[in-house]
């Protein structure tokens, strides 16, 4: 089992920045990649970004490319999502997730094994 705890959500104005954190504990040796998804009201869960745990490769959704940066600190078993130039359409609950499947990149939520509780991000116009 792996536990994921997210933090860092909040309310900011458009154009602002937020940094989300996700700390993993438990069987962390099984992590192949970690990622972030988001869920906005009335929409399906959307892939945001993923990072490989060993090599640090990253992959982003087109909607966030150039604005969001995913990174990791293996010593702390933590992944981060730095979000800049935020837009009202970025408003959603953001979920941290991880997978033990050795494929790259994985962008389907069905292929992720563990999920955090979610953190609300609200961008005002």
The Cα 33–Cα 74 span in angstroms is 12
At residue 29, the pLDDT reads 75
At residue 31, the pLDDT reads 83
Confidence of residue 119 (pLDDT cuts 50, 70, 90): very high
Asked if the peptide bond before residue 117 counts as cis, ω within 30 degrees of 0, the response is no
Cβ atoms of residues 50 and 38 within 8 Å: no
Confidence of residue 125 (pLDDT cuts 50, 70, 90): very high
Of residues 58 and 1, the one with the higher pLDDT is 58
pLDDT digits (tens, 9 = 90+) for 21-56: 999 998 887 788 999 999 999 999 999 999 998 878
Query: Hey, which bits of the chain come out as E strands?
Result: 2-7, 10-13, 18-26, 33-39, 46-52, 58-60, 68-73, 78-83, 92-99, 114-115, 119-124
pLDDT digits (tens, 9 = 90+) for 49-93: 999 988 789 999 999 999 999 999 988 999 999 999 999 999 999
Q: What is the mean pLDDT of residues 9-26?
A: 96
């Amino acid at each position: 089992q792996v536990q994921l705890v997210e933090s860092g959500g909040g309310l900011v104005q458009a154009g602002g920045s937020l940094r989300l954190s996700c700390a993993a504990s438990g069987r962390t040796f099984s992590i192949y990649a970690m990622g972030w998804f988001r869920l906005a009201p009335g929409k399906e869960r959307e892939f945001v970004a993923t990072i490989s745990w060993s090599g640090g490769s990253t992959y982003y959704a087109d909607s966030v490319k150039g604005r969001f940066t995913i990174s990791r600190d293996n010593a702390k078993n933590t992944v981060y999502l730095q979000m800049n130039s935020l837009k009202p359409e970025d408003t959603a609950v953001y979920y941290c997730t991880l997978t033990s499947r050795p494929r790259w990149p994985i962008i389907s939520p069905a292929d992720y094994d563990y999920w955090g509780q979610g953190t609300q991000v609200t961008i005002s116009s």
